[in-house]
Amino acid sequence: MGRIIFYEDRNFQGRSYETSSDCAELTSYLSRCNSCRVENGCFMVYERPNYVGHQMLVRRGEYPDNQRLMGMSVGDCIRSCRMIPMHRGQFRMRIYERENFGGQMHELLDDCDSIQERYRMSDCQSAHVMDGHWLMYEQPQYRGRMTYLRPGEYRSFRELVLGPMEKRIGSIRRIMESC
């Protein structure tokens, strides 16, 4: 079971809030969140409520300054989080060139460091995750902003509100760590 502790101030100072599950609105518990400590597990942390905006995967460890961790500007802080459950078994996802599962379709069973090079897809705008938990990156080689996908249908990546991400998917990686 995962466990994360959020702190109002940098360097684990101020009031704290601990959780082992998803939290759509951290400001219900803290006035702000500027540092965190992951005791166990993996979590996605988000800059806005309801799992929206810039996001970052955090593993077991200490994160004394969220601005440096997530590249946020002064005044921004973590506002929501999702616990990523450990997945055992196969990973399977279908990606589609267009929204609503249109255009080219390719099935992924493992990581893909470049969607363009491997599949010659100019764009990826929808997906169906059948098994496992995945990270999509805006650039090849697992660089740039990321978005977390858990099992389910994603008819349009516009629904994900990827923030400033150009909605281009450059690479995809499985979340396999036992954090």
- Total domain count for the chain? 2
Predicted pLDDT of residue 166: 54
Angle at 123 between CA 166 and CA 58, to 5 degrees: 55
Interior/surface letters 111-144, b for 16+ CB within 10 angstroms, e for the rest = ebeebbeebebebbbbbbbeebbbbbbbbbebeb
Long-range contacts of 62-71 (CB under 8 A, 24+ apart): 62/12, 62/37, 62/38, 63/35, 63/36, 63/37, 63/38, 64/10, 64/11, 64/12, 64/35, 65/10, 65/11, 65/34, 65/35, 66/10, 66/33, 66/34, 66/35, 66/36, 67/34, 70/45
Domain region containing 159: 92-174
> Which range, of 1-15, 61-75, 101-115, 142-156, averages the lowest pLDDT?
61-75
Same domain, 147 and 128: yes
pLDDT band at 74; cut points 50, 70, 90: very low
Choosing from 84, 116, 145, the residue where a domain stops is 84
Q: Is the pLDDT of residue 87 over 50?
A: yes
Choosing from 22, 51, 84, the residue where a domain stops is 84
Taking the whole predicted model, whether its pTM rises above 0.75 is answered as yes
Q: What is the CATH number of the domain that holds 8?
A: 2.60.20.10
pLDDT per position as a tens digit, 4-38: 999 999 999 999 999 999 999 999 999 999 899 99
Greater pLDDT, 160 or 91 = 91
Same domain, 49 and 22: yes
The answer to whether 145 and 137 have CB atoms below 8 angstroms apart is: yes
pLDDT band at 104; cut points 50, 70, 90: very high
Same domain, 97 and 80: no
Greater pLDDT, 29 or 122 = 29
Predicted pLDDT of residue 144: 87
Choosing from 39, 67, 84, the residue where a domain stops is 84
Whether residue 179 is contained in a domain is answered as no
Same domain, 7 and 78: yes
